[in-house]
Amino acid sequence: MGIQPPGNPWEPISTAGPSGLDIIKTKELEEFMEARGLYESPEESLKRAEVLGRLDQILNSWVKKVTQNKGYNEQMVEGARAMIFTFGSYRLGVNGPGADIDTLCVGPRHVNREEDFFGELYRMLGEMPEVEDLHPVPGANVPIMKFKFDGISIDLLYARLAVWVIPEELDLSVDSVLQGLDEKSVLSLNGCRVTEAILSIVPHVRNFQTTLRCVRYWAKLRGIYSNMAGFLGGINCAILVARVCQLYPNAVASFLVSRFFKVYSQWKWPNPVMLCPNQERSLGLPFWDPRRNVRDRRDLMPIITPAYPYSNTSYNVSLSTLCVMKAEIERGKEICEAVEAGKAGLISLFDPFCFFTAYKNYLHIDITARNLEDFMNWKGWVESRLRLLTMKVDRDTWGQLQCHPHPDGFLDKSKQFRSCYFVGLRRKHVGCDKKGELFDIRSTIEEFKNCVGMYTSLKPGMCIGVSHKKRSDIPLFVFPGGIRPAHCSTGGLGKVCGEAAEKSRNFSPLQAVEGVVGRKRKADESDTSNKFRKCDYAATSRSEALAGDIKAEEGASVQPSEYSLTPLQEQVIRTCSSLFNDGGEEDLTTPFPTAASASAVPQKPVINFSFTSLVQANS
């Protein structure tokens, strides 16, 4: 039975205060996170404040210089100023060591984005010895300038207000600040407005911060922290945690973490998570409203911002990534229940997900460029398009082939300007009524190829390759120390119950959740039995399958954690009993020929693609 909402959806479920045990557990949770290095040192905090002060001086000098260059009088130049605001994890108070600072610069109407922000300011920053890795992204949905200032990473946005002089006491939370702004400025202001709204809504900021820090850490370790990949991002987590804080306003962090998983394991998506009701405003800006907007009705996991114009922060979520997140939240709920029953410790919640041992089949996406500037631009574009691959596979396979994109890219340090991405593949065994049919995703890959090839700034050397990889063929540079780990539990892809739990004792948890492999056939069963056909990606010889592609090489690792299997993980593996059997483990891969393909974008350099495949479903 799901959680019964109160009569008024904005009323709390419980206003009870914490018990003595809750306070003790919260203290232990804070000590655990401190031991894991999730808090920055006082020295780093001080350095961040100094960097922000220096950046404020630079931006004010830039505005005055632009004002003078455009011929305004001395009085105008003297009064010209910019203001900076922070948002995101830094403003919420949950940033860790080495995290970037999300920063917004607000300037007057005569200082524009194209010529002044990405022109004059870019040149000024490029001449400063303290500035490194300066990378402007003017074509992004929210234009941004990324750089490091004295070792501190800065993500800088710009909003041009409809005033000649920026007032000294500027309040971005009032709706009138949006009057007369261009679309990009409204989007740039949204981060600050949402952050301030969240902080004003939560009952106890410190309890919110501790809970959010914990949830973010859990999501990162379990491989579901990446808004771009279709999972949870920083703002998604903040809104979800803030909603739980509203429902339990007097609870402390340990209790809120437990209720986070309980609430969202029973949430009926696509019912939206909202911190306040959406209200029409006089400005008439478009906002998320499925009653009016047909497009908003397609959202699978709507998590709505609390500041006008309201928007869905999780529009990137696909059928596959929603399935992965629901499984992980269910796993979290089961662990928290075991903790409350005294059968486990909360540390089990943070066991890392073993992505490269969780599946038998992967899509491997390679990108390369000829120089650093081209590589950074190409990398940013491809990363923004990768989510479309998951969505297109969901669409073209009727949601029966689950894609699990790894949230991060991997640099192959043995080669310059090369990055790799991986997508785990498994067949959804529940509710399939198209057994025995073929899923042909060649056109899906072709469509994805054409989508990536639409990059307007495509240059020679910007290449992408898509290929199939078996688990045993994953390049070693993705593993810590270049060492391939032993198989371990995925702890979140299936449910232990009844007969399934009993049978799981006879073989490894990894086999239990290997959906893409399907059921294992007994050694004496016929190879041609239609009953046991499986879903798999097949390839011809390596030379044919990877024709025109970039072969993976061994290199330095960028994966941060070591894999291990705990007894509690074995208890919480969720799986379907149809995946279990007592027979041999011979694979039933039915090979289908694949062909390397290449495609050229008209009047642009050729982009090589090397992956086509047929997928056969379980019978």
Both 489 and 558 in one domain: the answer is: yes
- Under DSSP, the state recorded for 403 is E
Higher model confidence: residue 169 or residue 529?
169
pLDDT in tens, 262-292: 999 999 999 999 999 988 887 889 999 999 8
The pLDDT value given to residue 132 = 95
Which whole number is the average pLDDT over 496-500?
29
Over the range 75-101, which residues count as b (16 or more CB within 10 Å of their CB) and which as e? ebbeebbbbbbbbbbbbbebbbeebbb
Domain boundary residue among 348, 383, 405? 348
Q: How far is CA 171 from the centre of its chain?
A: 30
Is 242 part of a structural domain of the chain?
Answer: yes
Residue 271 is assigned to a structural domain of this protein: yes
Clarify whether residues 223 and 141 are in a common domain. Answer: no
Which tens digit of pLDDT belongs to each residue from 587-610? 322 222 232 332 323 333 233 333
**Residue 151's pLDDT band (boundaries 50, 70, 90)?**
very high
In angstroms, the Cα distances linking 571 to 188, 326, 328, 390 are 45, 18, 14, 30
| C-alpha–C-alpha distance, residues 408 and 354, integer Å | 14
Taking CA atoms, 393 is separated from 38, 131, 296, 399, 442, in Å, by 36, 41, 21, 8, 10
Residues in the chain: 619
Is 598 domain-assigned? Answer: yes
- Report the distance separating Cα 467 and Cα 210, nearest Å: 42
Distance, in Å, from the CA atom of 263 to the CA atom of 215, rounded to the nearest integer, reads: 14
Residue-level pLDDT at 428: 79
Q: Do 384 and 499 belong to one domain?
A: yes
Query: Does residue 13 form part of some domain?
Result: no
pLDDT for 289-322, tens place per residue? 999 899 999 999 999 999 999 999 999 999 999 9
**Does residue 11 form part of some domain?**
no
Residue 167: what pLDDT?
Answer: 93
pLDDT at 618: 30
Look at residue 12 and tell me if it is in a domain: no
Residues 371, 496, single domain; the answer is yes
> How does pLDDT run across 78-121, given as a tens digit for each residue?
999 999 999 999 999 999 999 999 999 999 999 999 999 999 99
What does the pLDDT read at residue 302? 97
**Rounded Cα distance, 589 and 537, in Å:** 8
Q: Are residues 591 and 473 in the same domain?
A: yes
Q: What is the 3-state secondary structure (H, E, C) of 457-474?
A: CCCCCCEEEEEEEEHHHC
Domain stop point among 289, 321, 348: 348
Residues placed in the known binding site for Mg(2+): 100, 102, 155
Distance of CA 295 to the CA centre of its chain: 22
CATH assignment at residue 91? 3.30.460.10
**Domain identity same for 365 and 338:** no
Domain that holds residue 283: 203-348
232 CA to centre of own chain? 5
Q: What is the per-residue pLDDT for 546?
A: 26
Per-residue pLDDT tens over the stretch 401-432: 899 999 999 998 888 999 999 999 988 765 54
What's the confidence (pLDDT) of residue 442?
81
- Nearest alpha carbon to residue 393 among 361, 353, 367: 361
Q: 284 and 146, same structural domain?
A: no
pTM for the full predicted model: 0.78
Q: Please report which confidence band the pLDDT of residue 611 belongs to, taking 50, 70 and 90 as the band edges.
A: very low
Is-contact 206 251, C-beta < 8 A? no
Binding residues: 87-89, 100-102, 155, 225
Q: Give the chain's mean pLDDT.
A: 78
Residues with Cβ within 8 Å of 372's Cβ and at least 6 positions away in sequence, in order, are 417
Comparing 539 with 435, the larger pLDDT belongs to 435
Let me know whether 138 and 263 are in one domain: no
User: What Rg do the C-alpha atoms of the chain give, in angstroms?
Assistant: 26
CATH number at residue 379: 3.30.70.590
Residue 516 predicted with pLDDT over 70: no
Q: Which two tokens stand for residue 119?
A: 């022109």
* pLDDT bucket at 453, cuts 50 / 70 / 90: confident
- Following DSSP, what letter does each residue of 141-203 receive, concatenated? SS-EEEEEETTEEEEEEEEE-SSSS--SS--TTSGGGGTT--HHHHHHHHHHHHHHHHHHHSS
**pLDDT of 559:** 28
- What pLDDT does 440 receive? 75
Q: With 60 as the cut, is the pLDDT of residue 539 above it?
A: no
Q: Cα–Cα distance between 425 and 535 in angstroms, integer?
A: 10
* pLDDT over 60 (residue 386): yes
Residues 317 and 385 in one domain: no
Model pLDDT, residue 429: 65
User: Given pLDDT bands bounded at 50, 70 and 90, which one contains residue 438?
Assistant: low
DSSP for 420-461?
A: EEEEEEEE--SS---TT-EEE-HHHHHHHHHHHTT-TT--TT
Looking at residues 431-445, what average pLDDT do you find? 66
Q: How far apart are the C-alpha atoms of 27 and 211, rounded to whole Å?
A: 12
Q: Which of 317, 348, 379 is the last residue of a domain?
A: 348
Residues 170, 258, single domain; the answer is no
Inside any domain, residue 21: no
CATH of the domain at 278: 1.10.1410.10
Give strand pairing partners of 411: 419
Tokens 């009844």 sit at which residue?
498
- Rounded CA-CA distance 138/144 in Å is 6
- CA dist., res. 161 & res. 178, Å (int): 8
Express each pLDDT in 207-246 by its tens digit.
Answer: 999 999 999 999 999 999 999 999 999 999 999 999 999 9
Q: What is the pLDDT of residue 487?
A: 63
Please tell me whether residue 404 adopts helix, strand or coil conformation: strand
155 and 79 share one domain: yes
Task: Return the closest-CA partner of residue 420 out of 468, 383, 366, 477.
Answer: 366
**Average pLDDT, stretch 496-508?**
29
Residue with tokens 């995925």: 490
Could you list the residues known to form a binding site for ATP, using ranges. 87-89, 100-102, 155, 225
Distance CA 203, CA 92 (A): 14
Q: What is the pLDDT of residue 323?
A: 95
Ramachandran category for residue 167: left, alpha or beta (phi over 0 → left; psi -120 to 50 → alpha)? beta
DSSP 359-401: -SEEEEEEEE-SSHHHHHHHHHHHHHHHHHHHHHHHHHTTT-E
Q: Cα–Cα distances in Å, from 135 out to 116, 148, 219, 226?
A: 16, 10, 28, 21
What whole-number percentage of the chain has pLDDT above 90? 60
Q: Helix, strand or coil for residue 353?
A: coil
Residue 143 near residue 158 (C-beta atoms within 8 A): yes
Contacts of 218 (CB under 8 A, 6+ apart): 332, 349, 350
Question: pLDDT tens digits, residue range 152-210?
Answer: 999 999 999 999 999 988 999 999 999 999 999 999 999 999 999 999 999 999 999 99
Confidence at residue 5, expressed as pLDDT on a 0 to 100 scale? 47
Q: Binning pLDDT at 50, 70 and 90, where does residue 347 land?
A: confident
Total domains in the fold of the chain: 3
Is residue 524 in a domain?
yes
Sign of CA dihedral 561, 361, 321, 136: positive
Let me know whether 604 and 519 are in one domain: yes
